[in-house]
Amino acid sequence: MQTCVPLFAGRSEHGGRGVRVCGTRAYGQLVGNRLTGTEVKGVRVAGETGEMTQRARYTYRLRVSATARAELEGEWGRCRWLWNECVARAKKAHADGELCGPARLDQMLTRARAVTPWLAEGASVPQQQIIRDFAASRTKALKDIRNRLPLKRRAGMPRHKKKHEVDPSLNYTRRGFRLKGGRLHLAGGIILTVVWSRPLPAEPSSVRVYRDHLGHWYASFVVLAPIEPLPPTGAVIGIDWGVRETATTTSDAHDLPHPRHGRKGQEKLSRYDRMMARRKPKKGQAGSKGYREAKRWRAKTYAKIARQRQDTARKWAKKVVRDHDVIAVEDFRPKFLARTSMARKAADAAIGATKQALIEMGRKHARDVRLVHPADTTMDCARCGARAKHALPLSERTYTCTACGAVSPRDKNSARVMLLRAGLDPAGVEGARPPGAPLREAA
């Protein structure tokens, strides 16, 4: 029996219903919650007007002076030392059969700041937050062990953070930072210049200051932002994921061709790989300046390709969400493609990131996004509902129904099946089956 389960309760004045899971059964949680620059954390109804809001992250680039960089790295050194101390204390408590919760770790921090001047020089807010993060990480790992999850699905126990292997990341609650004159003032007298690429929709409740693998600093603010509903269009769309075309839809105008961003950047990547191979240092020796520069250029190229993929995904998702009220999406998980001959092309298509961007864009604009179970979607006929006895090989790109004789491109037929499985029978969509029609096997 087909089911549709809403992933969050509540309905806005504009009728937005959020994200639903559709298919042969209700299953799982959404795959990821991240947008480029905006990460949706939750949806709630705020105030007496019933306005729907969401907790979201807004990320901005920072311009960090040499003085501020040294202060941030000093704060991170203290927080990293605290994390490693928490790991050691937790291991000792486990060996002795004692409890080691956040309350006990907070007491440890209080005593350590009283007797260690170096630790007391830093702000207490990021140090308290690093203990909260450690406690949350350890609690999740212990919960997975109690629930006897498979090893591949378990969260690992917190481990030591090595100085040259972990990038700095500092969390500040509302009492640990303020915005003044367009600049970010952190506890401890650290002042940072923010590149305001867009305004914040509300007062932030917390901020995370971190450095990426290229050495760039960012500030990620958590705000309670209102949902921005779009005007209704009365249109629906079905989406099927693929490798030849990243997304095939029931509307030809909304198909997403393979962008090939990785293929276009492959020439530069190959050049940097050859430069690194020629300059590769011997074991135990530090890399030369040329080796480090080539390594950095390669990392920057990979980061540019990732940004291009995210930009393409968001622009396409915005177009689909703007033009349709209800979106039936195949809940395709491309992880298995990494073990096939299509691994490189599938990774370059960025199916997972594109699907994630579409889901979050639909939630942001109060659209009804329905995730459809992908089982047998290539075997069902969208016109009569008959199911083929055997799965189609990937080399066969045309679907021919042996029951009704319908012939259509394989991916287009699957996109129409998404609509039917999501409980939609729109007028004007080719191959739509009448509601309530029985599902029968092809002869």
Q: What is the 3-state secondary structure (H, E, C) of 184-197?
A: EEECCCEEEEEECC
Check residues 401 and 302 and name the one with the higher pLDDT: 302
**pLDDT score of 39 more than 80:** no
Please indicate whether residue 410 or residue 89 has the higher confidence score (pLDDT).
Answer: 89
> Per-residue pLDDT for 148 more than 50?
yes
Could you state, in order of their start, the residue ranges of all structural domains in the chain? 1-26+230-257+306-443, 61-198+207-214
Q: What is the dihedral of CA 402, 403, 404, 406, to 10 degrees?
A: -30
Q: What residues does 226 pair with on adjacent strands?
A: 53
Mean pLDDT within 393-419:
81
Q: 239, 324 in Cβ contact below 8 A? A: no
Structure confidence at residue 131 (pLDDT): 94
Provide the 3-class DSSP secondary structure of residue 94. Answer: helix
Residues 61 and 216: beta-carbon distance below 8 Å = yes
Q: How far apart are CA 117 and CA 284, in angstroms?
A: 36
1-26+230-257+306-443: CATH class: alpha beta
Q: What's the mean pLDDT when you consider all of the chain?
A: 82
- What average pLDDT does this structure show over 192-202? 94
CB of 210 closer than 8 Å to CB of 69? no
* Mean pLDDT calculated for residue range 261-288: 92
Integer Cα distance of 83 and 388 in angstroms: 56
Are the CB atoms for 327 and 321 separated by under 8 Å? Answer: yes
* Tens digit of each residue's pLDDT (9 = 90 or more) over 157-169: 999 999 989 999 9
Q: Which helix (H) or strand (E) holds 52?
A: strand 51-63
Residue 133 phi/psi, 5-degree rounding, is -65, -40
Structure-token pair, residue 376: 């047998």
Please check the confidence at residue 436 and state whether its pLDDT lies above 70: no
Q: What is the β-pairing status of strands 236-241 and 169-173?
A: unpaired
Q: Which two tokens stand for residue 431?
A: 């191959």
The C-alpha atoms of residue 233 and residue 228 are separated, in whole angstroms, by: 15
Mean per-residue pLDDT, 272-277? 94
Q: Give, as one character, the DSSP assignment of residue 132.
A: H
The pLDDT tens digits of the residues spanning 3-19 come to 333 333 333 333 334 45
* Per-range mean pLDDT, top range of 49-58, 69-78, 100-109, 384-393: 69-78
Backbone torsions φ then ψ of 431, nearest 5 degrees: 85, 15
